């Protein structure tokens, strides 16, 4: 912990008094030097929820006093206050705790947009790798909300039961089986690692595979051989990051997330809340794969 000067918004930014900050595997990767967009200087933290206390001269003054979710491409959310670009600030749903909002946050945007990119449709079979993680619990719910039949891959029977409660029709315990014994129209992969190839082989004809995380490490080049070996099935591979998404598309996704939340078709899953001073413990929990859902920091 260290004291820092009060941040001041530029003309296009807002100043946020943070109520909750999300802790994700992206923060672990950034602090390990595995995330190119993070310089390693200053605090981690890609997403926060809090009240806008000041705005730059080019920003709508009506934002002051509002609770918002802010996406921080330059990180910095492990703090008490932070500045964010106004175009990456989204209104928080009323009556929802800040920890729940940030538990949706970036993970909900990744899951919702990834499934939209690959066109997951009603009646299709969707496999979610790493279904107990921050993105996985939401991908499971969003796929179910789209009418898909969801198979969730996780690490224990207890987690499996929780995922069934979130909409999974089938659960695979990865500690007992390396890969599911089935084929799928869509695979949502938050794990990556050396087993990507085995899961690519599970795609049905015209199947779509979307990589949106790498908690298992980066896959070797040979893991992608099934794309050519099975080319007669016309498989497709997508690598998806929010860094490639325009602010207006993020805003549209967030509006869809909030609508599904209001309809009771999606819920936030908070694993554990830590005080800001225990950020290192929060990061260890994520890095060790112990979290089910989202780990959250509270500055005070």
In order, the DSSP letters of 194-248 are GGHHHHHTTEEEEEEEEE---TT-PPPGGGGTHHHHTGGG--EEEE--GGGS-HH
Same domain? For 36 and 88 the reply is yes
Q: Is the pLDDT of residue 177 over 80?
A: no
Residues 90 and 238 reside in one and the same domain: no
Q: Are residues 198 and 114 in the same domain?
A: yes
Identify whether 4 is part of a domain: no
For residue 235, how far is the Cα from the chain centroid? Answer: 24
Q: Are residues 226 and 292 in the same domain?
A: no
Task: Tell me, yes or no, whether 90 lies in a domain.
Answer: yes
Alpha-carbon distance 218 to 213, whole Å?
A: 9
CATH number for position 145? 3.40.50.720
**pTM of the model as a whole:** 0.95
Do residues 251 and 102 share a domain? yes
* Residue 8 is assigned to a structural domain of this protein: no
Residues 37 and 154 in one domain: no
Query: Residue range 106-122: average pLDDT?
Result: 98
Q: How confident is the model over 203-227, as a mean pLDDT?
A: 95
Q: Do 236 and 115 share a domain, yes or no?
A: yes
Q: Which tokens sit at 62? A: 């009506």
181 or 145: whose pLDDT is higher? 145
Q: Are 109 and 254 contacting, i.e. CB atoms less than 8 angstroms apart?
A: yes
Does residue 58 lie in a domain region? Answer: yes
Average confidence (pLDDT) over 250-266? 98
Q: What is the pLDDT of residue 45?
A: 95
Six-digit token string for 298:
């509270």
Mean pLDDT of 11-22: 98
Quote the CA–CA distance of 66 and 91 in Å, as a whole number: 7
Give the range of the structural domain holding residue 83, as residue numbers without chain letter: 13-106+246-298
Is the pLDDT assigned to residue 293 strictly greater than 70?
yes
Q: Which of 99-108, 141-150, 166-175, 260-269 has the lowest mean pLDDT?
A: 166-175
Residue 171 lies in a domain: yes
CATH code: domain of residue 25: 3.90.180.10
Residue 139: Cβ within 10 Å count: 34
CA 212 to centroid of chain Cα atoms: 8
H/E stretch holding 255 reads helix 247-262
pLDDT-wise least confident of 38-47, 104-113, 179-188, 271-280: 38-47
Q: Indicate whether 3 belongs to any domain.
A: no
At residue 176, the pLDDT reads 80
Show which of 202, 225, 242 is a domain's final residue. Answer: 242
153 part of a folded domain: yes
Say what the pLDDT of residue 41 is. Answer: 67
**Burial 65-100, CB ≥16 within 10 A → b, else e:** eebbbbbbeebbbbbbbbbbbbebbbebbeebbbbb
Percent of the chain whose pLDDT exceeds 70: 99
DSSP state, residue 31:
H
Is 7 a domain residue? no
Sign of CA dihedral 138, 142, 143, 149: positive
Task: Please indicate, yes or no, whether residues 134 and 200 belong to a single structural domain of this protein.
Answer: yes
Backbone angles phi, psi at 52, to 5 degrees: -75, 125
| Nearest of 248, 245, 254 to residue 212 by alpha carbon | 245
CB 24 within 8 A of CB 46: yes
Query: Are 140 and 82 part of one and the same domain?
Result: no
Between 260 and 30, where is the model more confident? 260
Note the pLDDT of residue 157: 86
Question: pLDDT digit string (tens) for 50-67?
Answer: 999 999 999 988 999 999
From 225, 242, 259, give the residue that closes a domain: 242
Q: What is the pLDDT of residue 38?
A: 73
Structure tokens at 237: 């591979």
Please give the tally of structural domains in the chain.
Answer: 2
> How confident is the model over 193-212, as pLDDT tens digits?
999 999 999 999 999 999 99
Residue 161 has what pLDDT? 95
Is there a single domain that holds both residue 86 and residue 121?
Answer: no
């Amino acid at each position: 912990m260290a004291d820092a000067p009060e941040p001041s918004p530029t003309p296009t930014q807002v100043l946020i008094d943070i109520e909750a900050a999300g802790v994700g595997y992206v923060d672990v990767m950034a602090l390990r030097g595995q995330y190119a967009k993070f310089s390693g200087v200053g605090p981690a933290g890609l997403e926060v929820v809090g009240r806008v206390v000041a705005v730059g001269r080019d920003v709508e003054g009506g934002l002051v006093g509002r609770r918002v979710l802010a996406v921080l491409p330059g990180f910095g959310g492990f703090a008490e206050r932070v500045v964010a670009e106004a175009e990456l600030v989204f209104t928080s749903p009323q009556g929802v705790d800040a920890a729940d909002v940030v538990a949706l946050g970036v993970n909900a945007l990744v899951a919702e947009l990834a499934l939209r990119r690959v066109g997951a449709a009603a009646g299709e079979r969707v496999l979610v790798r790493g279904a107990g993680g921050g993105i996985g619990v939401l991908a499971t719910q969003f796929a179910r909300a789209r009418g898909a039949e969801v198979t969730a891959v996780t690490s224990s029977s207890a987690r499996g039961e929780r995922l069934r409660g979130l909409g999974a029709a089938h659960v695979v315990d990865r500690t007992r089986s390396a890969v599911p014994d089935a084929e799928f129209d869509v695979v949502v992969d938050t794990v990556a690692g050396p087993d990507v190839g085995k899961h690519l082989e599970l795609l049905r004809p015209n199947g779509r595979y979307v990589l949106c995380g790498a908690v298992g490490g980066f896959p070797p080049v040979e893991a992608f051989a099934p794309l050519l070996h099975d080319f007669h099935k016309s498989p497709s591979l997508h690598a998806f990051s929010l860094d490639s998404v325009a602010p207006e598309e993020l805003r549209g996704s967030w509006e869809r997330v909030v609508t599904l939340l209001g309809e009771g078709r999606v819920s936030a899953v908070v694993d554990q809340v830590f005080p800001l001073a225990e950020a290192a413990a929060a990061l260890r929990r994520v890095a060790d794969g112990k979290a089910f859902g989202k780990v959250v920091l509270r500055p005070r």
